[in-house]
Amino acid sequence: MKRHPVAKEGEIPPGGRKIVAVGPLQIGLFNVGGEIVAYRNACPHAGAPVCSGRISGTSLPSRVYEYLYGREGTILRCPWHGWEFDLRTGEHIVDPKNRLKQVPVASENLDRLPTERSGGTLYVLLSQ
């Protein structure tokens, strides 16, 4: 795996994102509750730049005529057709076999990244 520097530790605040280009690839980095995750910026439905979509919550399972909203800040909604993905896993919230393509992220010393750390470099790990 080749390490590509993409951000500084602490640069992406909780709830924030950064979209970067690594060669021909676009990758979205997200801070979800203090954990940095990264995905290819291509929706599995029809290839939209999904990482630029709205970060929100979603409707929760509920009884008829009950409307519950939750999971705020953990759902990424594709800007083209509205598919919703869990930012923590990349899975489509209704059909988990449709998922965003996750990209491994590492810091200089850790695999998972507490956001309190700052000053170091975040890397995405790619085969090329």
With b for 16 or more beta-carbon neighbours within 10 A and e for fewer, the 94-103 pattern comes to eeeeeebeeb
User: Does an H or E element contain 86, and which?
Assistant: strand 84-86
- Whose CA is closest to 76, among 125, 16, 22? 16
Nearest one of 97, 106, 85 to 41, comparing CA atoms? 85
Residue nearer to ligand FES on the CB measure, 29 or 50: 50
Q: Per CB under 6 A, which region of 6-14, 17-25, 78-86, 91-99 contacts ligand FES?
A: 78-86
Which residues in 82-101 contact ligand FES (CB under 6 A)?
Answer: 83
Q: Please identify, among the stretches 14-22, 25-33, 79-87, 90-98, the one whose residues bind ligand FES according to the rule CB under 6 A.
A: 79-87
* Residue 20 makes contact with ligand FES by CB under 6 A: no
- Could you tell me how many residues of this chain bind ligand FES (CB under 6 A)? 9
Stretch that binds ligand FES, among 4-12, 32-40, 42-50, 100-108 (CB under 6 A): 42-50
Among 45, 88, 99, 117, binds ligand FES (CB under 6 A): 45
**124 in contact with ligand FES (CB under 6 A):** no
Kindly compute the dihedral angle of the four CA atoms of residues 117, 39, 75, 88, in this order, to the nearest 10 degrees: -60
50 interacts with ligand FES by CB under 6 A? yes
On whether the CB atoms of residues 43 and 52 are closer than 8 A, the answer is no
